[in-house]
């Protein structure tokens, strides 16, 4: 017989069901019923993204991650559950921001430094 025990259910890692990005918050709905909400500033690329770029995401990694192709940003469920912020270095973000300002000047209008 193929039964799932309570321990197996508890050990199952939740997957992404839905994502909402507002001006200041990233909220992720999980398959176990939880919603994780974190400050958008934890992820500077999302903070600098336009509404359209933030809305263009894909649930990735078999449901264990979220990918924003326009922003080259990836966030995993495990990191969110552990309260991990972006690990991108200041130098890397500065290069991305400089490249972005050259190729997307309208997206940078009204943006201030983090």
pLDDT score, position 67: 98
Domain containing 72 equals 10-107
Q: Is pLDDT at 19 greater than 70 in this prediction?
A: yes
pLDDT score, position 101: 86
pLDDT score, position 8: 53
The percent of residues above 90 in pLDDT, for the chain, comes to: 76
Q: Is residue 1 part of a domain?
A: no
Q: Is residue 112 part of a domain?
A: no
pTM: 0.80
Q: How far apart are alpha carbons 88 and 39 in whole angstroms? A: 16
pLDDT (mean) for 72-85:
96
Q: How far is CA 57 from the centre of its chain?
A: 9
Q: Is residue 102 part of a domain?
A: yes
Q: How confident is the model at residue 111 (pLDDT cuts 50, 70, 90)?
A: low
């Amino acid at each position: 017989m193929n039964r799932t025990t309570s321990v197996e259910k508890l050990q199952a890692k939740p997957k992404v069901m839905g994502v909402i990005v507002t001006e200041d918050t990233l909220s992720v709905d999980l398959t176990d019923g939880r919603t994780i909400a974190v400050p958008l500033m934890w992820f500077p690329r999302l903070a600098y993204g336009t509404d359209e770029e933030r809305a263009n995401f894909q649930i990735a990694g078999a449901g264990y991650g979220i990918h924003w192709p326009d922003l080259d940003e990836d966030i995993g469920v495990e990191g969110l559950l552990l309260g991990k912020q972006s690990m991108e270095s200041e130098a890397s973000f500065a290069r991305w921001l400089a490249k972005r300002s050259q190729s997307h000047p309208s997206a940078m209008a009204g943006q201030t430094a983090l």
